Amino acid sequence: MTIPTNVDEIYPEVFIGCTSLISVSIPGSINTISSMAFGYCSNI
């Protein structure tokens, strides 16, 4: 997954438990990655 550059925050639990997620590209525009945003994503 590639997070767009117009995003500046990844909210809590937004991808929680997403086992199909295998990679994440996080742009420099991200200021905050909230608690458990990628919790239980066992394949990244």
Predicted confidence (pLDDT) per residue in 14-40, tens digit: 999 999 999 999 999 999 999 999 999
pTM, to two decimals: 0.84
Q: Read off the amino acid at residue 43.
A: N
How far apart are the C-alpha atoms of 43 and 36, rounded to whole Å? Answer: 15
> What pLDDT does residue 19 have?
97
> What pLDDT does residue 42 have?
97
Q: Read off the amino acid at residue 23.
A: S
> What pLDDT does residue 27 have?
98
CA-based nearest residue to 33, from 3, 43, 42: 3
How far apart are the C-alpha atoms of 16 and 34, rounded to whole Å? Answer: 11
Contact yes or no for 37/17 (Cβ under 8 A): no
- Cβ atoms within 10 Å, residue 21: 14
> What pLDDT does residue 24 have?
97
> What pLDDT does residue 29 have?
98
